[in-house]
Structure formats: C-alpha cells, structure tokens
Amino acid sequence: MSTNLSYGPVTEQPAGEISRRTFMRRMIGVGVGVLSLEFLGGTLAFLYPNLSGGLGGEIAIGSASDITSLFPDWAKGQPFSYPKARLFLVNVPAGKALVDGKETSVPDPKDQVLALYRKCPHLGCQIPPLCEKSHWFECLCHGSKYTILGEKRAGPAPRGMDRFPTSITGGQYVVNTGKKETGPPIGTATFDNRDADKIPHCTG
C-alpha cells in the first residue's frame, strides 16, 4: 500500500520562527547595544564625577582595622589602593619606616595618613602601586616619580601628587574627594631625598 502524504515545501520559514541569519543579526545588535551602554556609562562616570558617594564627595573608606584586615601590608607601610576614589591611603609612619628599611607594624596610624590621588599631575595617567625597587610611585606613562608622600623626585610632572583632606569620623577614615589639594611644588623634600639616579627603579 502506498501513502501519498504531502509535507509541503521544506525551505519555507515556519510561522513564528526566525532564520539563523536574522538570529545572528539580532545577537550582534544586542552585543553592540550592550557595549555602547557600557561605554556611555563609563564616559558619564568620568565626565560627571560629582555624583553622590562617588569621586567628588566624602567617602568613608573604613577604619584602620577594616583596612588592615583587607590588606595586612598596609600596617607595614604599603599604600592601600581604594579604586572607587582613585586614591592611595598612605599609612605615614609605617610607610616612612618601610622606605628607611626599618619595616615595622603600625596597625592604627590614627590621623597620620595621607590620601594621594592616583591621577598623575603630568598628563593624567593612573599611577601604579609603589615600586618595590625604589619605594617610590612611578608613573608608567612618562616616568614621573614620587616619594611615598607624593613628593616629586623625577620626570616631567609639574608638581607632586595631588591629595585629599582626610578626617576620622566614627572611627572611619573619611576622604573628601571634593576638595582636591594641589600636590607640593617641585623641590619639596620633607622626607626621602634620595638621588633618583642612584637607586633602582621600575620605570625608565
């Protein structure tokens, strides 16, 4: 017995389904849309830093014990990086001891801290963590170099690293990123006046 079933043309698009090509186009469109939104978000965050709680306002970073639990080396003088405000919080007594080669532990430096802005005062590159060789901040872009207190020692930067006023409120370090202070002028040498040519560096 023969059957004579008709299945219809096999190349036609079933109702309610989309072709592979259309699907790929839509996926590419979604991808481009997401990237555009991320770019727009990043641009707005950069252009309008005075949003509440972000760069431009008062930011509570945490207590000394919060920071030490998160980053134990802070008590030994390594600057604590706080990316949200693009700053390093320097534990000044421990940092000075580290640079002097007399590493010691200062888990709570009280008000002896310094909030240094990571934006290089030369052309604005982000300054990386302390160079382990020199114990200076060394900008990777054009080689400007700063001590652990942000005083300029070498390179094309016009001054030391800018900084923010810091207070202690309710046991927490609060940095006022809306009141940026211009970095110290070239020649300021309150600490660490080593000759740049006589110590090893991380940058040229």
**Residues near ligand FES, by CB under 6 A:** 120, 122-125, 139, 141-144, 155-157
Strand order in the sheet with 58-62: 58-62, 172-176, 166-169
Least distance to ligand FES, CB of residue 155, Å: 5
For ligand FES, give the closer residue by CB, 101 or 204: 204
**What per-residue string of b and e applies to 164-185 under the rule 16 or more CB within 10 Å gives b?**
bebeeeeeebbbbbeebeebbe
Both tokens of residue 37? 């939104």
Least distance to ligand FES, CB of residue 25, Å: 42
Q: Which helix (H) or strand (E) holds 80?
A: strand 80-82
For ligand FES, give the closer residue by CB, 14 or 124: 124
Least distance to ligand FES, CB of residue 173, Å: 26
Least distance to ligand FES, CB of residue 145, Å: 9
DSSP percent split of the chain into helix, strand, coil, nearest 5: 25, 20, 50
Q: How far apart are CA 7 and CA 189, in angstroms?
A: 89
Q: Using CB atoms within 10 A of its CB, is residue 74 exposed (0-12), middle (13-18) or buried (19+)?
A: buried
Least distance to ligand FES, CB of residue 58, Å: 27
For ligand FES, give the closer residue by CB, 101 or 124: 124
For ligand FES, give the closer residue by CB, 62 or 143: 143
- Please say whether the beta carbons of 55 and 118 come within 8 A: no
Least distance to ligand FES, CB of residue 71, Å: 24
For ligand FES, give the closer residue by CB, 125 or 131: 125
Q: Which residue has the tokens 């991380």?
A: 202
For ligand FES, give the closer residue by CB, 76 or 86: 86
Question: Which residue, among 85, 66, 92, 26, has the nearest Cα to 172 in the 3D structure?
Answer: 66
